[in-house]
Amino acid sequence: MIGVLGILVIVVLGFVALGVDVGHLYLVRNELQNAADAGALAGANVLYSENGTQVNPNANQAAFDAAVSNRVTVFPAGWSPVQVDWPSGTNDGGVQRGHYDPSTGVFTSNASLEPVDLQNGAESSLNADTTFVNAVRVITRTSTRSLFAGLLGVSTSNLSAEAVAYLGFARELNPRDVDQPIAVCQDWLYPADSSRNPCNNYPNSSYWMVPDGPHQVVRWITLDQGPTSDISCGPILDGNPQQVMFTEAMPTVPISSDPTAFNFFRDQNWRHISRCAMNDSDNDGIRETPIDSNNNTIPDRPWIFTLPVIDCSGNPYSVPPLGRVVVEMIWMTPGGSYPEPDNVCDDTPRRMYDRVSGTDWTCPWYQPGCDDPIQRWSMFAQRFEFRDSTGPTLDCTQPSLRNVMFLKPVCEDDDGDGTYKPVRPRTGRTGSTVYGLRGQLAKYPVLVK
């Protein structure tokens, strides 16, 4: 009886020892997974430049640093650094940039730094395109001695964990991502007729007038996808107060259909000594640079802001956003239904900063023609190439120049091929769908493995 009891004690102690060892291995494995998750998210979070135009070669270093900053509880050393086998400066081993296909769950390593043109990509084609770098994989490892299993001949366990963080397409615009209650039609940014592309020949391309005859390029919207919108100073300084979902429609109204709103917007934000119309000169999220540099209520700096992009080809009064784009507004004419040409011409500025040349355009009193509003407008419009879709420089006496904003997207040659495209800053969390034909690259990645 005593012998049987002794055997039972040994068996029980064996199970206890096995349980302790298994629990220890689970603990170490979870710590490795946490480190891999942290590394993959850190790398994917900086995988692209802020506006999504260039793959960041330092993403691997960020992933490695985040992973190895973690510790694991190994025996007998105690807290020890996580190990990641990564040859510094490469895309090999335990830290890799690459492509993740959410439809198959497959990660393919890719060291390319060239961005893929996302503007005309469909979801299925982008998922299958392994040249599209959209994820970071991190593999962590460590070794730990067994506490009791060594008695059974198992003295050391080698453990590893893998994580993949995926940077997909956004499903919402974050609060303050939208600066103004105005939406831009994507057909204006990417027209079927390439001769009307507002980024053509950038930086010497024209500023396009809004609205442009039958081609409506912007519409009034609400900043919160609700039925009403306040276009006074306060809400415009704050931007959209809530997330704007890409899956939900927002009411839209043609700009020219509401001259009262147009004039109110212009008076409150464009021609006003206030902090409504301001630029963020250092990209810190705070608008601190006035567009009226000499406080005479006449703007002399382009107004740069970010607007949502919508599809204007369908129902014009309720559509979901597709993304956002950076634009600059160079001038606003007075609103109204019955134009008085002299009023538009009289409004012509004598000074305006030219972002292309980095210099001020000025029309001083001593310059011939500056005292004539029509001639002054002609010089101003020619300098900034104010045109409509037909091509000729706009004449301030023409009736269509009421209720007009002169806008142009800020354009970049993101892949060095000489073709300029509108800047579409990253925004929001990674979703599961490429919305529209031209998805908006997300700012925040998600773990997928």
Sign of the alpha-carbon torsion through 269, 274, 276, 282: positive
Look up the pTM and report it.
Answer: 0.81
213: left (phi over 0), alpha (psi -120 to 50) or beta: left
Closest CA to 425 of 408, 403, 442: 442
DSSP 306-329: EEEEE--SS-TTEE-EEEEEEEEE
Task: Average pLDDT across each block of 10 residues of the chain; the chain has 449 residues. List them in order.
Answer: 54 51 75 95 94 89 96 73 94 97 93 80 82 96 72 69 93 86 83 74 63 64 71 68 86 76 80 74 79 85 90 76 89 68 75 85 80 86 75 72 82 73 86 65 91
Check residue 17 and give its pLDDT. 53
90: left (phi over 0), alpha (psi -120 to 50) or beta: beta
Check residue 212 and give its pLDDT. 54
| SS3 assignment, position 97 | strand
Q: Give the helix ranges, DSSP H, for 46-69.
A: 59-68
What is the C-alpha separation between 437 and 145, in angstroms, rounded? 54
